[in-house]
Amino acid sequence: MKFEHFALNVPDPRALAAWYVRHAGWQIARAQLEAPYKHFLADESGRVTLEIYHNPAAAVPDFAAAHPLCFHVALYSLDARADCARFLAAGATHFLDEPQPDGSLLIMLRDPWGIPLQLCQRAQPFPGF
């Protein structure tokens, strides 16, 4: 089976979608213009999608209170430090730098809504990257 999407109930899907489009280079693959404002965001490959929406039938998680090891959105980066600086300038906050024994660098941030965001600069990228 192929991975289709991961979904999050967020407070403002339209603003969150615009932030990831502007700062991560993602594209809106599909959008619903009325409540619950579903947006499917695709990465630059078009292969991986994140669904965001606001549905009051369920509580919006307190993303800022969740430890990033519970879940995080991970982005492949050729220069994690430069991408980190760019995201920080766009309103993200820094959580942790994790240099790895193999020379990889993982940087954990939180986007402006508190969602854990990891930058992965891998010494040995996964196949297809």
The per-residue pLDDT for range 39-83, each reduced to its tens digit, is 999 998 888 899 999 999 999 999 999 999 999 999 999 999 999
Cβ-contact 22, 92 below 8 angstroms: no
Other beta carbons within 10 Å of 47: 10
Quick one: pLDDT band at residue 3, thresholds 50, 70, 90?
confident
For the chain, count helices (H), then strands (E): 2, 8
How much is the pLDDT for 128?
Answer: 81
Across the chain, mean pLDDT equals 96
Cβ-contact 74, 113 below 8 angstroms: no
How much is the pLDDT for 15?
Answer: 97
The CATH superfamily assigned to 67-129 is 2,3-Dihydroxybiphenyl 1,2-Dioxygenase, domain 1 (3.10.180.10)
1-55 is classed CATH 3.10.180.10: yes
- The mean pLDDT of 22-50, rounded to a whole number, is 94
Whether 67-129 and 1-55 are alike in CATH topology: the answer is: yes
How much is the pLDDT for 59?
Answer: 96
Burial class (CB in 10 A: 0-12, 13-18, 19+), 64: exposed
Quick one: pLDDT band at residue 85, thresholds 50, 70, 90?
very high
- The mean pLDDT of 105-116, rounded to a whole number, is 98
The domain spans of the chain are 1-55, 67-129
Residue 118: is its pLDDT beyond 90? yes
Q: Residue 79, Cα to own-chain centre: how many angstroms? A: 17
